[in-house]
Structure formats: structure tokens, C-alpha cells
Structure 1
């Protein structure tokens, strides 16, 4: 008795349906920040700060119909990133309907304390095994902390009799005021693979990365903390990651945007994808082994300098 004022994270979760009838989970914190996660793809579709401002980009032309992944939010790319072999581009996890995991394995207390969260589960289906013959259990925890930070923890377990490898990315679409006013700090001097030049390897020369044309790069062995500075909005996104050595940076620019059905012609100006990923060296799991990849997103007033 007498503890009624204590915030209960479980009370901060609401399950609703989207317009296709697919369940989505809404997480809220006491300050009024929120996040939405769809069971279609285990995809975060919205992340708002305590003023209700949307921090993730979603295309006005996004197609919200399974089996297509929605253009925006945070699609999960597994078991591959990119387009190779018989699998669909960026793998199948983002096109599957996940379930709510009622019996998740224990997490570290820091992953639970003061957070509203949901645990999702995806297991390999008969269809998946036809195109990718490896059994897995993919557990995803999405949480919203009391200070409004969004975090995603993925745990992938090999329940196969043999080792296998996969690549992975949290394909995060950030909402920005104007792509030509944005810069990324923390990737200076790194080597990257350029997807616009058959994945040829280059070394980043600039002080900070700025945008004046199409960019599609995989930065290798990147630091675990990088920042996206949006001058016009005077806001900085801080990306922290663990278990994910690469950072993918993508903006389709004008010509490619016009060719994409589910992206408005001018919308490239309002978006920037910066993905914590494991692409260059795939992750290999022995039977029974589990891999964990974490992403934490925060928004702070500019100017912020990464101290990592």
C-alpha cells in the first residue's frame, strides 16, 4: 500500500492494431515519449520525444502491406544485408509476422530497470528453411527508457546441428530537417566499402561526413558511439552499439528516389539511414551458440561531441 505513485513499466504498454489488422505495441514513458513496434517484421515504426516530435522517418508512400517491409522506421535485416544469393534483399525477418515472447530468457537488470519494453520472437518456419536451411530463434527486446532513449537488443541462437553464418543490420531511418544541413561525426579516417562502386574499399578523408549526392557505404570497424548533427533542428542523434562492428550510411538522393515506388521524389531530403550492422565479416554461430547485437538511440540538444 502507499506505492500507487510508482511508475509501472508494464502499464506503459498498449497493444493496438494497424490498418492491416496486424498487432502493434505502443511503449510510453512517464515524460510522454513513445515508440511503436509492429509484429510485422518486429519493426519499430515510430519513436517520438516527450514533445511528440517524430524522430524516425517514414515515407509518405510507404507500403504497409505484408509481405513487403515498410519504407521507414527501423527494419531488421537478417539473415543478410544487401542482395546476394537466393534470399530476398535484406533477408526475410523484416517481412515475417513475429510473436510476443511471453517467456523471454533473463536480461541484465540494466536492460529492464525504469524501461517500458516488449519482447518479440521469430523462429524459422518451413518456408524459411527452404531458402535458408538453418534453424534459429531470434529474440528482440525493444525498450523505451525514462529519458526517452530507444534501445533494441537482438539475440539470435543457432538451434541447428551445424554452424552457420549471417549478416545483420538495424536499418534505421532518421528524420532530418534537410540532408544537406546534416553531418555525421565519428566515422572520420575509417575504411569503407562503397556500394556505388561494387563494394570497392576506400578511406574516409573528411572531418565529418556531409551530403551533396547519393551515398551508400559500409564503414568498417567503426566506434561504438557516433553522432548525427542536424544544425537546423539543433538536435543530435547519438547512436551507441555493441556487437555490430560496421556502420552503413545511405541516402538515395534525387535520381534514385524518383525510381523508388515507395519513396516520394523529394523525400530523400528529410531522411538519412545510419545502420549499426555486421556486414563485412558475417557472424558465425556454432550449434547452441547465441549472438547479441545492441543498439541504443538518444537525442540530445546540439552541440554534442562524441567522447568515445
Structure 2
């Protein structure tokens, strides 16, 4: 067990043999091993030198998800998915190092000068034998105005073959935006989702707060969340995946993105208010 700090990352080791590695760049989780297997996908073409966001693992999207909105101006000028995944975070402390789990806390630096908002953004990563928990903590440090943001954990779960998986536990009637169909608003039929064509959907207010992935080979994942209300499901398949510059050949066959977040609209915090969004991966 224990926590090891290097010049670029923090490594967690649990007595069960499970481990995790979190880069200071973006506070991106780039590895999670449980039962002797790597559970996160990172493209072999991913930039790990801080030159661009890491393709894979669990990047943090904040203070926006997706393309920037048309207003307000300080949000409109942001790059896709915001700036948190491109900042150098600080390893603040070890929260826990016990048989129950190993937990560490990171804090984000100040925002770019043009983003005139006062907030505190922290990230807690907790490792146990068969689980990985990632918690986003956001405090509005303004004294007299609200702070609006979006936040999402863009996780790439490793799987043997994306064409064999089944995604379930999204309640029938859950509204989603289908980006493949130009933003068409649709309701879930409650049936299992299979990856036989590109998928890019933002499910709104997922009442189950839990999504299951059957990997088709006797394993899979449970993705549970709280605080976060929405969940994006994404896999470009070969049709669009081959156009992603930092995606390895056939990389789209090796992952599914299940992404809890607050992505449908902006979350508003009153002065001094705190938001906590938690995601828990469990190996099945």
C-alpha cells in the first residue's frame, strides 16, 4: 500500500495489488489496474508531455463541456471542454492510506487571467480492491455573485472489443441529445445499447445514477454517480475514430466512454456554496 509522488504523477498502490496513476497535468487518471488488468484506455498516440490534453484515462472537463457557448464572453472564448485538463495541478495531501482504500487530493491552479471568477477546484481520487472513485469539489469563492459552470469526467473504460459490449440501466423515457443526429432530442427506449455505429449521446437527468457495461467476455463495469445528473456515452467507431489525430489505429475498439457530469446546462452556485460530483467505477 501507499502513495508515491514523482515529478509528473502520483501513484496509488493498494494491498490487494490494485493501483492507479494520476498525472499532475490535468489531474488526469492515466492508469487504473485491478485484478491484474488495466481498466483504463490511453491511446498509444496520446501526448503525455503537457502539449495537449491526454487522449484517454479520465480527463476533467471544466468549466464547460464540449464547444464553448456563445455567451458570456469569458466562456465563449474558452477552448473545447475548458481548461482544467490542460492545467498543472498540485498534489495537496494523502487523505487516507488504509486497507479500506488509498485516497489523495489535488487542487487546481487559478484560472486563466481572462476568466474572471473566484472558485476552488479540487479532485479526490480513491482506490480500493475493485473500485476507483473520483470526486470533483467546486467552491464558489465569490462574496457577492453566483458562479456557473459545467463539469464532466471524460472516462475511457478499457474493454476487449467495443462491438461486443452491452450498456444498460438507463431508464426508459430518459431524454438524450444525439450529437450524431445533429442534436436531435430523443427518449431512451430502455433497451440495451450496442456499439454498431458511432454513438455520441448526452443523457439528461439519469434517474438510476448508475450505468452498467457488460463487456461481452464475462466482465464489465458499474458506473455510479451522485451530484452529477447527466451522462455522456461516446464511441466514434472507425467511421469517425480514424480522423482523430491522437487516436491509435483501431483504438475505438478498445474503449467505451461513460461520462457522468453536469453537462446539459450550467450549474449555478451561490456565493460560498459547494458542489460535489462523484463517480465510482466498480469492476464486475
Question: Could you say whether these structures have the same fold, taking a TM-score greater than 0.5 normalized by the shorter chain as the test?
Answer: yes
1:158 to 140, 161, 166: 140
* Residues 183 and 271 (structure 1), Cα distance of their counterparts in 2 relative to 1, 3 Å cut: same
Deviation by residue 1:233-278 (Cα, 9 ceiling, x = unmatched)? x112011100011110000111322211100231111111010111
| Structure 2 match to 1:148 | 130
Q: How far did 1:50 drift?
A: 2.9
* Residues 115 and 227 (structure 1), Cα distance of their counterparts in 2 relative to 1, 3 Å cut: same
SS at structure 2 position matched to 1:31: coil
| Structure 2 match to 1:8 | none
**What are the within-5 Å matches in structure 2 for residues 29-178 of structure 1?**
29-51=14-36, 53-84=37-68, 85-102=76-93, 114-125=100-111, 128-130=112-114, 132-145=115-128, 147-161=129-143, 162-178=145-161
Q: Does 1:26 align with 2:18?
A: no
* Residues 200 and 133 (structure 1), Cα distance of their counterparts in 2 relative to 1, 3 Å cut: farther
* Residues 118 and 191 (structure 1), Cα distance of their counterparts in 2 relative to 1, 3 Å cut: same
- Contact 2:2-2:12 at 8 Å conserved across structures: yes
5+ residue gaps, structure 1, are 1-10, 18-22, 301-308
SS at structure 1 position matched to 2:48: coil
Backbone CA RMSD of aligned residues? 1.8
Output the CA distance in 1 between the equivalents of 2:190 and 2:271: 43
Runs of 4+ in 1 over 4 A off after TM superposition: none
**What are the within-5 Å matches in structure 2 for residues 229-268 of structure 1?**
229-232=214-217, 234-268=218-252
Output the CA distance in 1 between the equivalents of 2:256 and 2:233: 8
* Residues 217 and 58 (structure 1), Cα distance of their counterparts in 2 relative to 1, 3 Å cut: same
Output the CA distance in 2 between the equivalents of 1:97 and 1:140: 13
SS at structure 1 position matched to 2:180: helix
SS at structure 2 position matched to 1:160: coil
- Contact 2:93-2:104 at 8 Å conserved across structures: no
| Structure 2 match to 1:304 | none
5+ residue gaps, structure 2, are 69-75
2:188 to 188, 204, 208: 204
Output the CA distance in 2 between the equivalents of 1:263 and 1:25: 25
- Contact 1:34-1:48 at 8 Å conserved across structures: yes
Per the normalisation by structure 2, the TM-score is 0.91
1:12 to 2, 5, 15: 2
Output the CA distance in 2 between the equivalents of 1:103 and 1:224: 28
**How many equivalent pairs are there?**
274
- Contact 2:169-2:190 at 8 Å conserved across structures: no
- Contact 1:81-1:279 at 8 Å conserved across structures: yes
- Contact 1:15-1:25 at 8 Å conserved across structures: yes
- Contact 1:257-1:264 at 8 Å conserved across structures: no
- Contact 1:187-1:209 at 8 Å conserved across structures: no
Deviation by residue 1:72-92 (Cα, 9 ceiling, x = unmatched)? 100000001001221111110
- Radius of gyration: which is bigger? 1
- Contact 1:183-1:229 at 8 Å conserved across structures: yes
